[in-house]
């Protein structure tokens, strides 16, 4: 069995899970483009980061730093994802991390928090970057039309693409343009970075990085949600009861690797793939006990059989999933 030398932008020569996840972040497009009166640029590009050439050497130079951080990168996927961005922005050739988790307060009340501020070498003005890593499953039936973002929900059923986009658009991103936030940012920057003059001379640039995967139902067709980028990463989801039928459409050589949070990002290296038939005996109890589980499947005969790519992501959900579906966000005038 030989995997592609590069899967989802990650070289199989990379072994450390954190370095693989960093490589995946660099190669993975955003899931969504926010619609509305304000357009927010997406994730920093490799050119902006100064990583246009091969990233292998850059990642190799991070090995000692990543090794020292083992066990300190958080287990919650959202926190882990943020820290990957901290590593990237603080060590990429063309960027510098200025602040992270910058709390915006007014009269002891917390109004919000900016994920991070950074700048590029050729521009002294800070950039406000909000980040989110999201894995949503599409519902064939649910709120709104077939393309409604409310039909795309998190594995636990507590979050939806519509709710996340609404919160980003109306709260997380706009907060940095308020007078309160601008004053706090200027005050924070003045003594450490700019000098004695605190005012920001130019409006703060606001950006959004929202990589992840949209999982489509395997048993029916569903169009992408409104606002989805053309090249977003895709997977499939199926009920546990449907697994035998799903697997029967693949070859006997089908391999599987289970993804443990927070490492839901990069596909695992070759050594972590095992016989799917045998591995499901380990994964099935996890589904019964903890709910939906993500696996990566590798079928070396996939292209010959179905024309599909040999590597595919799958979320297997309990037969009674979802137990709840979030309400759509409230309409705003």
What tokens does 302 get? 């996939």
d(CA 149, CA 286): 28
Helices (H) and strands (E) in the chain, counts: 10, 14
Residue spans per domain, the chain: 6-215, 224-317
Total Cβ atoms within 10 A of residue 233: 20
* CA distances for 147 relative to 138, 141, 150, 156, 205, angstroms: 10, 11, 9, 21, 30
What pLDDT tens digit does each residue of the chain (333 aa) get? 555 567 898 988 888 889 999 999 999 999 999 876 677 888 999 999 999 877 888 998 898 888 766 556 667 889 899 999 999 999 999 999 999 999 888 877 877 889 999 999 888 788 999 999 999 999 999 999 999 999 999 999 999 999 999 999 988 888 888 888 888 888 767 544 444 445 555 567 889 999 999 999 999 999 999 999 999 999 999 999 999 999 999 999 999 999 999 999 999 988 889 999 999 999 999 999 999 999 999 998 876 444 457 899 999 999 999 999 998 998 765
Phi, then psi, of 254 in degrees rounded to 5: -60, 130
Which residues make Cβ contacts (< 8 Å) with residue 64, sequence separation at least 6? none
| Cα 166 from chain centroid (whole Å) | 17
The DSSP result for 103-123, as a single string, is: EEEETTEEEEEEEEEEEETTE
């Amino acid at each position: 069995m030989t995997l592609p030398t590069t899967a989802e932008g990650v070289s199989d020569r990379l072994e450390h899970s954190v370095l693989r996840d960093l490589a995946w972040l660099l190669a993975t497009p955003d899931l969504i483009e926010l619609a509305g009166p304000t357009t927010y640029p997406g994730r920093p590009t490799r050119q902006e980061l100064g990583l246009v050439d091969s990233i292998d050497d850059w990642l190799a130079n991070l090995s000692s730093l990543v090794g020292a951080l083992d066990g300190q990168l958080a287990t919650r996927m959202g926190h882990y994802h943020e820290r990957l961005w901290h590593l990237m922005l603080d060590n990429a050739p063309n960027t510098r991390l200025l602040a992270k988790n910058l709390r915006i307060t007014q009269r002891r009340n917390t109004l919000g928090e900016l994920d991070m501020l950074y700048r590029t070498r050729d521009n002294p003005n800070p950039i406000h970057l909000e980040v989110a890593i999201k894995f949503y499953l599409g519902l064939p039936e649910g709120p709104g039309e077939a393309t409604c973002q409310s039909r795309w929900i998190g594995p636990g059923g507590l979050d939806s693409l519509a709710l996340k986009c609404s919160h980003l658009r109306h709260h997380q991103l706009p907060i940095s343009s308020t007078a309160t936030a601008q004053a706090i940012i200027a005050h924070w920057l003045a003594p450490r970075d700019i000098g004695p003059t605190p005012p920001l001379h130019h409006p703060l640039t606001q950006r959004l990085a929202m990589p992840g995967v949209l999982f489509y139902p395997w048993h029916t067709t569903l169009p992408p949600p409104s606002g989805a980028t053309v090249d977003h990463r895709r997977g499939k989801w199926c009920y546990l009861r449907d697994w035998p039928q799903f697997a029967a459409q693949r070859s006997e050589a089908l391999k599987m690797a289970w993804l443990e949070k927070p490492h839901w990002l990069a596909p695992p290296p070759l050594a972590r793939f095992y016989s799917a038939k045998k591995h499901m005996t380990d994964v099935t109890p996890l589904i019964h006990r903890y709910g939906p589980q993500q696996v990566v499947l590798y079928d070396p005969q996939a292209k010959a059989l179905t024309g599909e790519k040999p590597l595919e992501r799958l979320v297997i959900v309990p037969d009674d999933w979802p137990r709840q579906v979030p309400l759509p966000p409230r309409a705003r005038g």
